[in-house]
């Protein structure tokens, strides 16, 4: 049989079968003894061949082709990420989502690059064995060319070599697919409608002048006659009166109660300014005094210093029982401008005798009766409601949310016609381009409504019946004295007292402000237009996750072409990972040079695994060669 290179003739030992591995065993002493003779019979050109570029391309064509396949797949991944970055998902027309497509492409890249790495590790194995090495190195290289586990063993058990780059790249390829899939995700974002298509609106109050009075309240005294001190008959616009009652009875009024019109999933409005009612609360304990000129028998009553009005009294028992609580919101000319400033719409006073004594304990009946007659033992609070401007920020996203951005209290006002009681009161100078105005009669009516609503008294004592005058007094008593007003409970002081009164006054102010923004029958509301937003799914891309796969790809590319360049002057043939080469290289007289010759030899050779009773042998069957 003629083979390229030196010719050797072998005679079968047995006419039937030849132990396939015995040739190597018989030749081994010869190889070791005549190693120098083999090298001396090899020409310098054979020991250090210089392969042409054409030869390299031909021998490495499959590895280069798979590398190109992986490069194209990686390029497709990058192109998809660039083209569809932040694009709406509806523009993705494939039946498969982007993630599965990128996963499939990344698997192609991973498999293609792994094929090239395996061939390079296999070829570097033969160059490694050109020097005397441990026979176990052969197994390490073989395992490394098959996957990450072998590459890990080769990396840590072999000194640094070009093959170490391939082993490390094989290990890192495990995370290649996962990293590329993390580059994209389906997220949700809000997309703004064009302004000309937006229907988002919300109302604010710029001018509030109510000229239609369609609700009449009649105030009668105890004998059924008109109470002339309060005008007898008053007209109210039901919207504002309802707001006052709502603020008095409800506990959770909010400026977000005014709903904007939003036909999309979310809406947002630019900050806007509106007429509003602002509240403030202060303690006026030092202004309480005992009026010894009694109105009812021998029972003294308390007054606020500097005021001309008398506090209300409960009259349930003919005035024979002293009060321990009263509230009042005396009517005032709230449209009377002084030096450009409007007075409060209403000053709401309340005075009460606490259930706890100075030692935070329940007083005895005798102590209670004695201490009740001393002004120093009482507490008094004052809440003021003022006309103001508020700058609001509103947005809608499932629920309406409005926040107060700024409040303007110290404003300069002027009556358009001071001689006309039905005049309009406006800001002296426009604010942010708007002329805010309110009717003078509206201010009077609000003050009158608060006067009629927030008036009354109560006698509250432990182990006695509680007496109230005024329909809404129990509500205010609960706000200030808590759920058990006659019982001393020091733990309630932080949530009631001043804090409870402030919550109630704030609640009334918010309700009245909302009524201003809700509009009335004669003053058109100012409409604030906003932006509408709808949520959409889009392809979110994070290019940071493409950096690790890109680095792995570059490392493998350099490893592949470095190995190809090294093989140009490599003495050994380009056998790569062929297992047939391992089968034949143990034969001293194999005459192998190229991988093609090895494949041809293997194609014409038949082998059989035999057990001799002691061991296993892969034997060549006689007559198998053609």
Q: How far apart are CA 262 and CA 201, in angstroms?
A: 7
Give the confidence band of 290 by pLDDT, cuts at 50, 70, 90. low
My answer on whether 230 and 310 are in the same domain is: yes
Which of 521-525, 574-578, 603-607 has the lowest average pLDDT? Answer: 521-525
What does the pLDDT average to over 288-309? 65
My answer on whether 191 and 207 are in the same domain is: no
pLDDT at 622: 66
Domain contains 122? yes
Whether the pLDDT of residue 497 is over 80: the answer is yes
Domain count, the chain: 3
In the DSSP assignment, the letter for residue 530 is -
Domain contains 416? no
Q: How far apart are CA 442 and CA 421, in angstroms?
A: 11
Q: Is 340 helix (H, G, I), strand (E, B) or coil?
A: coil
My answer on whether 181 and 292 are in the same domain is: no
Domain contains 427? no
Write out pLDDT tens, residues 501-526: 999 999 999 999 999 998 765 667 78
Which backbone phi and psi does 623 adopt, to 5 degrees? 80, 5
User: Where a domain ends, among 505, 529, 553?
Assistant: 529
Write out pLDDT tens, residues 256-268: 999 999 999 899 9
pLDDT at 13: 40
My answer on whether 483 and 588 are in the same domain is: no
My answer on whether 87 and 215 are in the same domain is: no
In the DSSP assignment, the letter for residue 278 is E
Whether the pLDDT of residue 313 is over 70: the answer is yes
b (16+ CB within 10 A) / e for 594-622? ebebbeebbeebeeeeeeeeeeebebbee
Residue 321, beta-bridge partner list: none
Q: H/E/C letters for each residue in 81-94?
A: HHHCCCCEHHHCCC
pLDDT at 600: 74
My answer on whether 349 and 492 are in the same domain is: yes
Encoding tokens for residue 570?
A: 């490599």
Burial class (CB in 10 A: 0-12, 13-18, 19+), 353: buried
Q: Is 497 helix (H, G, I), strand (E, B) or coil?
A: coil
My answer on whether 547 and 584 are in the same domain is: no
Domain contains 422? no
My answer on whether 494 and 355 are in the same domain is: yes
pLDDT at 529: 93
My answer on whether 128 and 28 are in the same domain is: no
Domain contains 417? no
My answer on whether 241 and 261 are in the same domain is: yes
pLDDT at 27: 36
pLDDT at 404: 96
pLDDT at 523: 66
Domain that residue 36 falls in: 1-42+575-626
Which among 269, 266, 531 is positioned nearest to 398, based on CA atoms? 266
Q: Please report, rounded to a whole number, the percentage of residues in the chain having pLDDT higher than 70.
A: 81
Q: How far apart are CA 190 and CA 465, in angstroms?
A: 61
Which of 186-200, 284-298, 421-435 has the lowest average pLDDT? Answer: 284-298
Which among 234, 255, 555, 529 is positioned nearest to 407, based on CA atoms? 255
Give the confidence band of 32 by pLDDT, cuts at 50, 70, 90. very low
Beta-strand relationship, 201-204 and 526-529: antiparallel
What does the pLDDT average to over 586-601? 70
Side-chain-facing half-sphere of 370: CA atoms under 13 Å: 6
pLDDT at 557: 92
Write out pLDDT tens, residues 324-368: 888 999 988 888 888 889 999 999 999 888 888 777 888 877 777
Whether the pLDDT of residue 42 is over 50: the answer is no
Domain contains 270? yes
Domain contains 411? no
My answer on whether 175 and 288 are in the same domain is: no
Which of 43-47, 51-55, 58-62, 596-600 has the lowest average pLDDT? Answer: 43-47
What does the pLDDT average to over 525-546? 90
Write out pLDDT tens, residues 53-99: 888 888 888 989 999 999 999 999 999 999 999 888 888 888 888 88
Domain contains 419? no
My answer on whether 115 and 264 are in the same domain is: no
More confident residue, 373 or 281: 281
pLDDT at 3: 39
């Amino acid at each position: 049989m003629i083979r390229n290179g030196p010719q050797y003739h072998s005679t079968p030992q047995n006419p039937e079968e030849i132990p396939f591995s015995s040739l190597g065993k018989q030749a081994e002493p010869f190889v070791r003894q005549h190693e120098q003779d083999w090298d001396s019979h090899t020409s310098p050109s054979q020991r250090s061949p210089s392969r042409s570029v054409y030869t390299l391309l031909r021998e490495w064509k499959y590895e280069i082709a798979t590398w190109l396949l992986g490069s194209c797949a990686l390029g497709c991944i990058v192109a998809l990420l660039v083209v569809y970055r932040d694009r709406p998902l509806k523009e993705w027309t494939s039946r498969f989502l982007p993630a599965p497509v990128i996963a499939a492409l990344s698997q192609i890249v991973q498999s293609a690059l792994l094929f090239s790495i395996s061939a390079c590790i296999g070829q570097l194995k033969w160059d490694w064995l050109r020097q005397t090495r441990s026979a176990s190195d052969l197994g390490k290289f073989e395992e490394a060319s098959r996957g990450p586990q072998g590459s890990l063993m080769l990396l840590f058990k072999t000194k640094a070599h070009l093959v170490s780059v391939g082993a490390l790249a094989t290990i890192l390829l495990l995370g290649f697919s996962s990293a590329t899939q993390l580059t994209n995700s389906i997220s949700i974002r809000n997309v703004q409608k064009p302004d000309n298509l937006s229907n988002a609106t919300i109302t604010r109050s710029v001018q509030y002048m109510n000229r239609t009075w369609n609700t009449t309240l009649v105030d009668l005294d105890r004998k059924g006659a008109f109470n002339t001190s309060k005008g007898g008959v008053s007209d109210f616009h039901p919207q504002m009166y309802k707001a006052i009652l709502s603020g008095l009875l409800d506990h959770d009024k909010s400026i977000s109660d005014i709903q904007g019109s939003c036909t999309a999933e979310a809406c947002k409005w630019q900050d806007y300014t509106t007429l509003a009612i602002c509240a403030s609360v202060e303690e006026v304990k030092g202004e309480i005094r005992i009026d010894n000129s009694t109105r009812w028998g021998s029972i003294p009553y308390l007054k606020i210093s500097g005021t001309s009005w008398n506090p209300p009294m409960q009259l349930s028992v003919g005035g024979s029982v002293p009060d321990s609580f009263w509230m009042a919101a005396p009517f005032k000319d709230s449209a009377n401008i002084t030096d450009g400033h409007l007075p409060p719409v209403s000053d709401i006073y309340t005075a009460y005798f606490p259930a706890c004594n100075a030692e935070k304990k329940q007083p005895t009946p005798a102590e209670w009766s004695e201490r009740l007659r001393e002004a120093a033992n009482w507490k008094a609070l004052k809440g003021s409601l003022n006309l103001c401007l508020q700058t609001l920020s509103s947005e809608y996203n499932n629920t309406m949310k409005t926040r107060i951005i700024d409040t303007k209290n110290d404003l300069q006002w002027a009556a358009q016609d001071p001689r006309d009681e039905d005049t309009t009161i406006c800001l002296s100078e426009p604010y942010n381009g708007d002329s805010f105005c309110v009717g003078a009669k509206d201010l009077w009516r609000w003050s009158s409504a608060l006067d009629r609503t927030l008036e009354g008294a109560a006698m509250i004592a432990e182990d006695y019946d509680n007496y109230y005058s005024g329909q809404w007094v129990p509500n205010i008593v609960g706000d200030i004295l808590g759920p058990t007003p006659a019982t001393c409970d020091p733990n309630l002081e932080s949530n009631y007292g001043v804090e409870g009164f402030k919550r109630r006054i704030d609640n009334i102010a918010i309700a009245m402000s909302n009524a201003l923004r809700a509009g009335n029958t004669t003053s058109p509301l100012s409409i604030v237009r906003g932006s509408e937003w709808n949520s959409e799914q889009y392809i979110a891309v994070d290019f940071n996750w493409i950096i690790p796969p890109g680095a792995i790809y570059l490392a493998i590319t350099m490893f592949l072409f470095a190995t190809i360049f090294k093989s140009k002057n490599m003495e050994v043939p380009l056998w790569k990972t062929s297992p047939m080469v391992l089968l034949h290289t143990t034969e001293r007289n194999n005459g192998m040079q190229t991988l093609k010759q090895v494949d041809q030899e293997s194609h014409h050779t038949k082998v059989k695994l035999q057990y001799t009773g002691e061991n296993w042998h892969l034997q060549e069957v006689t007559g198998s060669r053609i």
